[in-house]
Amino acid sequence: MKPNETSLNTQENKSMNQHEEDDHALFSMETPLRADAFELDDDLKIELIEKHFKEIMQILGLDLNDDSLKGTPHRVAKMYVKEMFKGLDPKHLPAAKLFENKYQYKNILIEKNISFHSVCEHHFVPIIGKAHVAYIPGNSVVGLSKLNRIVRYFAQRPQVQERMTMQIANMLKDVLQTQDVAVIIEADHMCVAMRGVQDITSSTITTEFCGKFQDSKTREELMRLIKLEA
């Protein structure tokens, strides 16, 4: 996946409309974006979202003249564009400078328990979790904070956990110039906890094992190091 690409998967959208709202069976590797997704600047997006969110609040019967509520449409719009969904725009893709692997370190390198907040694209409620990212360096290594930033970049958009896991792995393979990458995500979905079955105890784990991590012994070592059952 190329990070600066945007695509419109028409067939996927048609298929998703034919399935129930909670169906995770079909999803594209890329976040579904219209071809004109970046034609509006951020200020105009905020203005338009503020207008429409105000209408939603009015439909719900809320009194927007109340001091506590009158600024909410603008706050929500600004939060969507500048914070929660800023990862939709490729201009926020974190730069990842590589460094020579001078020590010739050839073992597993793990950045564990990377916390993130995302949003379920089916109900627009939070996904709260942590990611474990691992790779086996070749000739280059990358600053550890860049692994966190890549996770956050893909989290800051409406998401499906399966897709997010693969997006992070693909980006890491491209940035690190190695196939030996693994991504494990553990997350709580508020669409499960707050609505529907209202289950507050379950969590979801997704994995993507590439290159040497497809070998059972390497994968078992990784799972032992992050203390998950293999």
E strand intervals along the chain: 98-100, 109-120, 126-135, 140-142, 158-159, 181-189, 204-209
Beta carbons of 160 and 121 less than 8 angstroms apart: yes
Q: CA 224: distance to chain centroid?
A: 25
- 156, 159, 161, 167: the active-site residue: 161
- 47, 123, 186, 221: the active-site residue: 123
Catalytic residue check, 120 = yes
What's the CA gap between 45 and 67, in Å, rounded? Answer: 24
Catalytic residue check, 122 = yes
Using CA of residue 147, residue 153, residue 158, residue 163, what is the dihedral sign?
A: negative
Three-point CA angle 201, 164, 146, nearest 5°: 110
Rg of the Cα atoms in the chain: 20
Catalytic residue check, 52 = no
Catalytic residue check, 191 = yes
DSSP classification of residue 5? -
Q: Where are the alpha helices (DSSP H) in the chain?
A: 10-17, 42-59, 72-79, 144-155, 161-176, 190-193, 216-225
- 30, 111, 132, 191: the active-site residue: 191
Contacts of 145 (CB under 8 A, 6+ apart): none
- 12, 47, 121, 221: the active-site residue: 121
- 74, 117, 122, 186: the active-site residue: 122
Residue 172 tokens, joined: 């890491």
Amino acid at 148: N
Neighbours of 45 (CB within 10 A): 18
- 120, 132, 156, 167: the active-site residue: 120
- 111, 159, 189, 208: the active-site residue: 189
Residues with a catalytic annotation lie at 120-123, 161, 189, 191
